[in-house]
Amino acid sequence: MMKYTQTLILLLCCSLVAQAQTHWFNPAEAKTAVIHGQALSNEIAPAYTRLPQRAQADVTPALWNLAQQAAGLSLQFRTNASKITIKYVVTGNLAMPHMPTTGVSGLDLYAINRKGTWRREIANGYHFGDTCSFTFYTHRKGYTANQTLDYALLLPLYNGVKFLEVGIPEQSSLVWIPQPTEKPIVIYGTSIAQGACASRPGMAWGNILARKLNKPIINWGFSGNGKLETGMLNFVSEVDAALYILDCLPNLAKEPYLADLSKRITDAVMLLRSKHTAPIILVDHASGSFDEGNYHTKKANKISKETYKALRAAGVKNLHYLSYKDINLAEDALVDYIHPSDYGMEQIATAYAKKIRKILK
């Protein structure tokens, strides 16, 4: 019994020493805005949410609740630490029936070199519970010990974050990287844009696109609530963006929305064009790649394309279209009837990257 007690005390002491050797950094205490992927951040910081408080009066309750989830948000920092530990608390359920815990509530960490190349860090351990945690050891072949690198920590796709700290060995250093001043690409879309059903945050197509283009992305994808509604479009129009993506057809390819779909698209384009000259991309319902027999999908894509042509004929400039044929989504790229797997997310991001590179030259 004495030996068991001594062992227990020794383990406790070792645990306390280990905790004392970790220096914790809370991004909410940073002196500048450091949550990347937020538009209108001067009204939000330091919360890990996607819309300012005043939006609650202008958007639906469902959309407002979804805006509290951290899809597309990230923290970027510079450190020479060989071990990085993240502990955080989420606000909702850890998983969904068709999407794993690692995608709904997990994190991803990427290292970024000076050429803008992203390299994923593999988590050596993670835990989900009342307090979640991820641990990363950053030594890799080709990198020296204690080498200073830039990192992007991608936040959960379908959960809110109410507390987060980054821990590194106390002899290491960490500096937060402020939000970029470069104009972002703004995505307004559905659950697919939000990230369903990626296996982890890094595989949501918006986050893949950010890596492919090395451009800041605003993810305003809202599960079941990307409906080209004026309340949300007003916030989209407040952002001085490099490019706007309107990818809402998966939430509108049904009645009663088909009846006024052309008007919704026209109103959305004209609202943005009344304030900005930046490119706008309208997007087909990607399931048209293999679901042309579906009446609603086929009709939504037909209405959307005809509306695009009418707007171009009426003189609307810098308006572009991404068709389901451009995306070419495979049947095996879906988890269920509509939501992409990682394979599908990569296909979508690749199609967008090709289109955007052409538009932005």
Q: Report phi then psi at 160, rounded to 5.
A: -85, 155
- Residue 245: C-alpha distances to residues 34, 150, 184, 359 (Å): 24, 28, 11, 12
pLDDT for position 17: 47
Q: Please, what's the b/e burial string for 322-361 (b: 16 or more CB within 10 A of its CB; e: otherwise)?
A: bbbebbebeeebbbeebbbbbebbbbbbbbbbebbeeeee
End-to-end CA distance of the chain: 73
According to DSSP, residue 286 is labeled: G
Question: Domain 185-360: what homologous superfamily?
Answer: SGNH hydrolase (3.40.50.1110)
pLDDT for position 16: 46
Q: Among 3.40.1800.10, 1.10.287.110, 3.40.50.300, 2.60.120.260, name the CATH number for the domain at 22-176.
A: 2.60.120.260
pLDDT for position 143: 63
pLDDT for position 117: 85
For a pLDDT cut of 70, what percent of the chain falls above it?
91
Q: Where are the domains of the chain?
A: 22-176, 185-360
pLDDT for position 144: 64
- Alpha-carbon torsion, ordered 102, 126, 206, 189, to 10 deg: 40
Confirm if 251 and 78 have CB atoms less than 8 A apart.
no
| DSSP strands (E only) in the chain | 22-25, 35-36, 74-79, 83-90, 108-112, 118-121, 123-127, 132-137, 149-154, 161-169, 174-176, 185-189, 217-221, 243-247, 280-283, 319-322
The per-residue pLDDT for range 207-247, each reduced to its tens digit, is 999 999 999 999 999 999 999 999 999 999 999 999 999 99
Bridge partners, 22 (sequence order): 169
Confirm if 223 and 280 have CB atoms less than 8 A apart.
no
pLDDT lower than 50: segments of the chain = 2, 4, 9, 11, 13-18
Q: How far apart are CA 257 and CA 260, in angstroms?
A: 6
The per-residue pLDDT for range 186-210, each reduced to its tens digit, is 999 999 999 999 999 999 999 999 9
pLDDT for position 115: 78
Closest C-alpha among 220, 245, 244 to residue 231:
220
